[in-house]
A and B are shown apart, each in its own frame.
Chain A
């Protein structure tokens, strides 16, 4: 018997500021966090939130995760102590790239001053599990803790892994999410030469003029708890992770399988895991990268999994239109944005979407935010898609309070 998993805290650091609320509110107000073709967390000043020692010992990707986690855990009432046996509380945080700022700076040290001068703090800063380790250590979480690596679906995989951990009794609570800080010249140029980045620097998912993604950085963290335990301790429930489905294309290193077949299977598996029908979905938070291939394949996948009629009924918007693509953080940042969408019942728009692509004929919420309309008496329900280089597909089913 699977156990239900509720969300009791959310946190985010994004180009729209420090906090989960600003992410949703500013996006819904039509604000774009992308400046000069990059989605940087320019309002994040690490020393405002972290000690000298923490700043020194954490790569930027871990700093973002630690600050987002502090917000989420504060909201959940987990500070100063977790309200669970620490062995039953885990932490799973994804990153696409890891501590690339540290890798680059220590590589410079080696070239300029010799191999013996590489910092002993290099490895513990750039290892991809560093963010999960830092959050676990700071908050005394002693259950299963690890990093997840699956490029742009990592944040969603982390939440899915955490869901399974609690569903099947390996943990009672898990702090889950994703974090990314790869806006270095090397990181940007690497995506540019593979022609994934938008040469115009504009993120406009599903628009006919879309020409690539805009790189962003950020972190999103959710506190997940087994439903009856959360209820017993009187926690405020923000929503529920109701389902998770994951598949792989086994098709191409970077291009999505164009029929959307395997991605559609991820959506179907997630709905089956949640025990929900397509008619109960009120909103889709799309992967929507603003690349030609992704947005076409995702539209095909949605039609395939939901049926064309239902796919046309459900409003769809992309968080990447406002913060860019935060890679291994994206699935988690978008889950946080979706939780806020369901809680406030305000659907933010797909910014920059003005010229419809005749092939992509769904409702991408152009222009302005709009109220989330429930299709019947059920709690507000959304799916959030994440797809990745490597051909990984993940769908989460999220529900808000009734």
Chain B
């Protein structure tokens, strides 16, 4: 698999989250899912997109401790590298 950069993942994640409701400029690495009003159902959709795009499988237990957008990006990048 070609290497995935953190920047690529970040822009894809931000694009996906923006389609779920929050304004794109609200979404930074530091913003929490709670303040973006992103809930567990949204995160399952995000996982589907990520799997489709990068072949990375995110399970419920992988995601239950995610607090911020940055946490999600780091997890996806680390799984893609593994």
Whether the Cβ atoms of B41 and A53 lie closer than 8 Å is: no
Known contacts A120-B41, A121-B41, A124-B41: A56-B21 contact under CB 8 Å? yes
Bound CA span A53–B26, Å: 14
13 A-B contacts (beta carbon < 8 Å) = A51-B21, A52-B21, A53-B20, A53-B21, A56-B21, A113-B52, A116-B48, A116-B51, A117-B48, A119-B45, A120-B41, A120-B48, A121-B41
Interface size on A, as a range, is 10 to 19
Contacts of B51 in A (CB 8 A): 116
B4 at the A/B interface (Cβ < 8 Å)? no
Interface residues of A (CB under 8 A from B): 51-53, 56, 113, 116-117, 119-121, 124
Q: How far is the CB of A122 from chain B (nearest CB, A)?
A: 10
B-side interface mostly: helix
Structural contact, A121 and B37, CB atoms closer than 8 A: no
Contacts of B52 in A (CB 8 A): 113, 117
Q: How many interface residues does B have (CB within 8 Å)?
A: 10
Q: Return the CB mask of B6-48 against A: 1 if under 8 Å, else 0.
A: 0000000000000111000000000000000100010011001
A54 (CB) vs chain B CBs: closest residue: B21
Cβ distance B24 to chain A, nearest Cβ, rounded Å: 11
Looking at the complex, which one of B37, B45, B48 makes contact with A53 (CB distance below 8 Å)?
B37
Q: In the complex, A53→B51 CA distance in Å? A: 23
Q: How far is the CA of A154 from the CA of B3 in the complex (A)?
A: 56
A309 to chain B, nearest CB (A): 59
In the assembled complex, the Cα of A101 lies from the Cα of B41 at a distance in Å of 19
Q: How far is A52 from B52 in the complex, measured between Cα atoms in Å?
A: 23
**Which residues of chain B are within 8 angstroms of A124 by Cβ–Cβ distance?**
41
